[in-house]
Structure formats: C-alpha cells, structure tokens
Copies of this chain bind each other. A is one copy, B any other.
Amino acid sequence: MPSYTAPLRDMRFVMFDLLEAERDLAALPAFAGVDRDTIDAVLEEAARFASTVVQPLNAVGDIEGCRIDADGNVSAPPGFRDAYRQFGDAGWPALSCDPAFGGQGLPVLVNNRVYEMLNSANQAWLMYSGLSHSAYECLVAFGNEEQKRVYLPKIVSGEWSGTMCLTEAQCGTDLGLIKTRADAAGDGAYALTGTKIFISAGEHDCSENIIHLVLARLPDAPAGTRGISLFLVPKFLPDADGAPGARNTIRAGSLEHKMGIHGNATCVMNLDGARGWLIGEPHKGLAAMFVMMNSARLGVGMQSLGLAEMATQNAIAYARDRIQGRAATGPANPGKAADPIIVHPDVRRMLFTCKAHTEGGRALATWVAQLTDRAHAHPDPAVRAEANELIALLTPVVKAALTDNGFEVCNLAVQVLGGHGFIREWGMEQLVRDARINMIYEGTNGIQALDLLGRKVLHDGGARLGLLRKLVGAFLDVQAGDERMQAFTAPLRALDTELAAVSASVAADVGADPDALGAASTPYLRLLGHYVHAWLWARMAKLALDAPARDAFLEGKLATARFYFSKLLPETSALLAVIRSGPGSLMTLDAAAF
C-alpha cells in the first residue's frame, strides 16, 4: 500500500520563499493576525490528519465503493462517515470561511495547501465536502439574508454538505439544453421536477443534510442559457429551529459504476416536485453558478495536484528501493545483486517529469490562491481588480494543465513500478483511475481551452495576457545581468516573444475563420501552461542559486528546474507549429467520412 508524507518543506518554500506570503499577507488587514507560526501549525496538523485518518481509507473506498438501498439511501464506504465527522469537529471546513458565518477567517493560501494534502490522501473522500466550499461561495455572493442565516453556518461547520446539480442526460457542456423545470409553489418556494445525472456526493450518509444547488427553468424562461435559474434544494427542509426537518422529494435513483473515485457516490438524482428556493435573480442562474464553477475548477486542479504528489513520492521511493540491472557507468551498488533503478537515465526522466509537474503545479496553484486572497481582501481596488483578472486568465490553465499533467504523472508512476504499478496492491493504478475524471468534470479540458483562448485572451484584446506578460517581463529584466540565469531566462524570453506573436496571429485568424479558435485552443492552453511554469521554475532556480548554502532540497529544486527547461519546455516548439498550422486540416472532411 502507498504511504503519504505531506510535502511541507516544498509548501513552505513556495509560500514563504517563492511567493513571499508573509509580506503579501501583511498588506491584507483581514489577515493581520496570521503569521508564519500560525500557518505552520495549521499545516502540520492537516498533514497529520491527512496521512493518519484520511489516507488509510483510500484503498477501502476504492474496493468497497458506495451502496444504495431500495429507498435511494446511499452509504459511503466504511470509515468515511467517521472521518468526515472528525474533519468537521476539527474545524477544517471552516478554515477560510468568513467569521460572520462561523469561519476561521484564514487565507485561501492556507486552505488550498490543506486541500492539496487531503486530495493526496483520498480524493473520493474529500469530494463529500469538496463542493461545499463552492456552494458556500455561491451563497455568500448570491444568497439572500435568510438563505445565508439558515444555511451558511451549517455548511461552514461541515454539518451540512453541498452539491452542484447541472448535468442532465441530454446536456453536459451545453447547459442551454436543460429541461428540469421549476414551478412557483405560491409561498415563495418552487417545485422542481426533472432528472440530474453525474451528481458527485449527490446522496450519502456523511453529513446530516445535503444542500443541492440546482439549475432549472422557470415556466416563462427564454430558451437556451438565458433562461436558466439557480435553486437551493435541501435534502431535508430546515425546520423552524434550522434543524433538518421533512425529507424533500429529491432522491438518488442509482449510482454510476465508474473508472475511479469509487469511494464517492456519483448519483442520478430525481427531483419529483422537490421544494426549492431561487438563488439570485430569475433566469440569471448561470452567472451565479459560475461563481461556484470557477471555485470548483480551481479545486479540480488541486485534486490532480494532490494525486500527482502521491504518485511522485511513491514512485521515487520505489525507484530508490527496487534493485534491477546495473548502471550504464558501472555498478553503483557492487555489494548487492543489482543497482536501484533510480540509476537509470530513463527512470530519472520519468521521476523528474513527475517532480517538475508536481512542484511546478504546486507553485502555480499556490500563486492563484495568493491572488484569491488579494482579490478578496486587498484594500486597494486596483490591486483587487488586477488579481481578479489574473485569476480569470489562470483558472482554465490550473484546471486543464494541472489535470493533464497530473494524469501523466500518475501514469508515469505506474510505469516506474512496472507490473507492480498495474496491480491494486501498490495503489498507483488507483491514482490513474481517480485522476482521469479531473480532465472531464467541471468543464472538460477542451472547454477550458476554449474559455482561455476565447473569453480570457482574445475577448479583451489580450489585456489579461498583457498583465501576465508584464510580470514575466519584469522578472526577465531584473535577471538580465545574472549569467547563471541565462539557461532559464533566454528560453523564457524567447517563449514570451513567440507567445505574443502567436496570440496576435490567432486573433487575426479567428477574425477570418471562427473555427480557428477551436483549432488553436488546446495547444494554446498547453503553451500558456508552459509559459507560466517556465517563469515559476526560473524563479525557483534563482532562489536555489542565491541560497547561501544549498541543501539536498534546493539541489533537487535546481536540478528539476534544469530538467524542466531541457526536457519538457521543448514541447512548446511543437505546440507553436501546431497552432500555426490552423484549422484547415481539421475542418474539410465530411462528418460521414470519418
């Protein structure tokens, strides 16, 4: 069975050295009392909880899965409910929530590190509370006072959990096709009828109530996405004291049999005149849902980051331990029958790829968390606005690049273990199966790429991209005199020039042919992912080079940066060529001739 050790050293390096979190938090009055000791203490306790309580349930969740009875009541796998209770009792769901609703008011920066650890330990388990925080954010932004008063404290305490109910059999990506309908009940509430599919944690026994956020149509709704409203539909209707009362008519019809995340209940949810309440304005449900969705997309990137960390550390441990063959340069371990496989260059290629994606992904995700705190809490509206623009630009990159890379990392870990990677016993194959969903849900990675290139880059004429390029350019200017940094700054500067040129040429192409957008989007997202990763790796290399003494950790950081630039960044040359080749070869063939 795999084991998990939280990468606290790297988390601290990223937060305090790379991102200078102490200086940044000091500028945010809401976090005045949050110092490094506080953050360290929270992370250490989270590490203990993740590795000793949550991770041991990961394999059992995969093997046992969930059960549904004839009445549609779902039981989570053995141990999940108890761990969920400990999670709530310890106050973890409240970590970054507003004290006005019972939260602890800590930065998202810290919360995200905690979620990375819990995701490493057990994605399926964490998903029982995973959408609760997104539901919290949606209600904070769009709920009325009554909704906030009744629901937020229970969500913050973890007593009640949340879901997102969007997908129906005939609509996933295209929410304009939603059929679930909501009729006024006459008392301010609505009666919802329809069937939702693929609802993560749609029904279970971990929390005492489940708050469904449901997209549906009012009778007078315009067709398409402009006619969708958002409703709050609790499993149990709160009674006068705010306790779970009558059972609502939203029930699980069945559980899906899935490739992975077996421990999480993915439900078909039947709404049979279920009582619900409008969140926000009629027909404006999609805007409200997107507050939740953007938070969830960043969360999905964190899920794959967590799995990638788990895969990486177990693959490294195996490669140090497993002896097989001899180093090409002569026995490294002459006293034993063979050398550990970490002596082989091709094994190192796989391990370094794992490290580069995982540590680079952590740097990116942590930076976005820092931007989130700035966007929420900085006193200067211009700083808040800039942070929001960067988050908008980076959200699809975090979602898609981190989940694509995370899937590759989990697969490489299987490959390092060979046949042992393919069997259940070592736990690596489960990571591949769990990681696979992250490239699909909360908007497929293809949809992320369209969002990035269409809405985030082209739609504002490259303004958001310009903000990012300004940061990179400032870094490059500062490094100009440092010879040691040439190996990093020269390719980064070249990529910056290429990125600007290809962005402009795609913008021109899209003007002439709308299909140029979808032809370029996926390679463009990977290109921008490399751009951000290259910048972060160059900065991490700089910190390692400047350190008064380089210990093993910093040697590893510098070596991984060199690996990234020599072995992974060259993918950008292929991506640029693919983008420049345009839509021609994609669009001419008749659908029937495929």
Contacts and interface: CB of A to CB of B under 8 A. Distances in A.
Contact of A444 (B172, B342, B415, B514): B415
Contacts of A559: 585, 588-589, 593
A459 to B, nearest CB: 14
A436 interface: yes
A229 interface: no
Interface in A380-423: 407, 411, 414-415, 418-419, 421-423
A564 to B, nearest CB: 9
20 contacts: A173-B325, A174-B325, A177-B338, A257-B425, A258-B423, A259-B432, A316-B594, A320-B591, A340-B591, A348-B586, A415-B444, A415-B446, A419-B440, A422-B436, A553-B593, A555-B593, A559-B589, A562-B585, A570-B574, A573-B573
A587 interface: yes
B552 A566 contact: no
Contact of A556 (B325, B440, B594): B594
A414 B432 contact: no
Contacts of A257: 423-425
Interface in A226-255: none
Copies of this chain held together in the complex:
2
A517 interface: yes
B345 A586 contact: yes
Contacts of A513: 329
A476 interface: no
Interface in A540-594: 552-553, 555-556, 559, 562-563, 565-567, 570-574, 577-578, 581, 583-594
A418 B258 CA distance: 12
A349 B177 contact: no
Contacts of A54: none
A555 B589 contact: yes
A522 B574 contact: no
Contact of A573 (B441, B518, B577, B592): B577
B429 A441 contact: no
Interface range on chain A: under 10, 10 to 19, 20 to 34, or 35 or more? 35 or more
Given A325-B174, A346-B449, A349-B586, A433 B594 contact: no
A439 interface: yes
B573 A351 contact: no
Given A173-B418, A433-B433, A585-B567, A345 B594 contact: no
B446 A346 contact: yes
A344 interface: yes
Nearest to A343: B591
Contacts of A480: none
Contacts of A316: 594
Contacts of A344: 446, 518
Contact of A259 (B423, B553, B563, B570): B423
Given A257-B423, A421-B440, 7 more contacts: A171-B324, A174-B325, A177-B338, A258-B429, A320-B592, A345-B515, A418-B444
